[in-house]
Structure 1
């Protein structure tokens, strides 16, 4: 159980990436007061949490409705997380968050950024959505499923705290420090992504020798 919990926690932290999101949050809220930033941060995290919980609890039913096998989703999801890990390793924020330059300009011109782009896709991005579905599928029994949901809430609370403390954290770590954390996280995520791919290949029955 402890190994599974550690795997879940690392996967959620590196896909949500609170530090990277905090850096982008500062860039999207120039000139705003502390109260306004706090309101936006808390609302964005609440919305992102609701979205991820929906994917965690309803992801399996969605795959069944679309007639997508667990093995196929594990392989596809693993590859998606692998791409996200490459962006983390090379500190390419745009690829990780799946937000384009045009979307960034639109967000800057919008007064309320809590829903877009902060909640979606910066916090609850494609990588995080994929991760929660994969983690729930890997969970065996109610206890492990509850563990995934509990750790998801822990990570989202940590994300909220990171956004609220963003100016101090960035001042403490600097851009270089944030990028170092991102690169280390990217390496861990790459390994976890490959494990998802291997699990999918084994579940498909095509490569029975896959460990």
Structure 2
């Protein structure tokens, strides 16, 4: 990721990566499942808290990612591989379809809206391994005020889109068919697995374990 030259291609690539890494798709189904027993205002409150938490975390990662990499002696390649491995676990779960059911009532423990808004909805579903990886690597690649402003601006644009989706989830849910959601979840899980593999290959290439030509 070269942030020294800002052009349409770079902006498009970053926006697409952030939509995958911080957009609503991965968090949508878990959000609907975990908030189905709450009323509309509570769902909107959870959505606001989730988006706020993910956005603040994203900006902190962007501000401190490069420093953390230097303190821990971690390379961008290692970050890409780690993000790819964690994303693989999440993507395979999505690709497998809905196989787990939550039985909170059976456990006798009421669900705390504020807690689920932070974990697991904000992280790792909304701000997922792709987003975390992109932001840490971008932090290390920022070379100017313009490049920093670009990444921050794109993060805020994606966050605004998330806010619109999750604070109006009841309106959107009425237009969503359960079967379509399941199919899109499986398809997106397969696509995310491919993204995860690409991250791992890119990381291996950066570390010199495989040749650059093999990574393309």
In which range does the TM-score fall when normalised by the shorter chain? 0.7 to 0.9
Superposed, 1:93-104 pairs within 5 Å as none
Whether 1:171 and 2:174 are equivalent positions in the alignment is: yes
Relative distance call for 1:108 and 1:135 in structure 2 (3 A) is farther
Q: Distance in 2 between matches of 1:73 and 1:204?
A: 11
Whether 1:43 and 2:49 are equivalent positions in the alignment is: yes
Relative distance call for 1:148 and 1:88 in structure 2 (3 A) is farther
Cα offset, 1:19, TM superposition: 3.8
Cα offset, 1:50, TM superposition: 0.4
Superposed, 1:80-159 pairs within 5 Å as 80-91=86-97, 108-113=110-115, 114-137=117-140, 142-159=145-162
Instruction: Tell me which stretches of 4 or more aligned residues in structure 1 moved more than 6 Å.
Output: none
Secondary structure of the equivalent of 2:175? Answer: helix
Relative distance call for 1:77 and 1:30 in structure 2 (3 A) is closer
Maintained 8 Å contact 2:22/2:126: yes
Q: Distance in 2 between matches of 1:101 and 1:134?
A: 39
Larger radius of gyration: 2
Whether 1:161 and 2:164 are equivalent positions in the alignment is: yes
Cα offset, 1:31, TM superposition: 4.6
Maintained 8 Å contact 2:96/2:186: yes
Cα RMSD after superposing both structures: 3.3
Secondary structure of the equivalent of 1:172? Answer: coil
Cα offset, 1:118, TM superposition: 3.1
Whether 1:58 and 2:101 are equivalent positions in the alignment is: no
Which residue does the alignment assign to 2:202? 199
Q: Distance in 2 between matches of 1:176 and 1:126?
A: 26
Q: Structure 1 residues 120-129 or 52-61, which shifts more?
A: 120-129
Which residue does the alignment assign to 2:3? none
Which residue does the alignment assign to 1:186? 189
More helix by share: 1
Relative distance call for 1:195 and 1:127 in structure 2 (3 A) is closer
Cα offset, 1:202, TM superposition: 2.6
Maintained 8 Å contact 1:28/1:107: no
- TM-score calculated relative to the size of structure 1: 0.75
Q: Distance in 2 between matches of 1:31 and 1:165?
A: 16
Cα offset, 1:24, TM superposition: 2.8
Secondary structure of the equivalent of 1:49? Answer: helix
Q: Distance in 1 between matches of 2:108 and 2:76?
A: 36
- Size of the alignment, in residue pairs? 204
Secondary structure of the equivalent of 2:210? Answer: coil
Relative distance call for 1:83 and 1:76 in structure 2 (3 A) is same
Cα offset, 1:156, TM superposition: 1.6
Q: Structure 1 residues 164-173 or 121-130, which shifts more?
A: 121-130
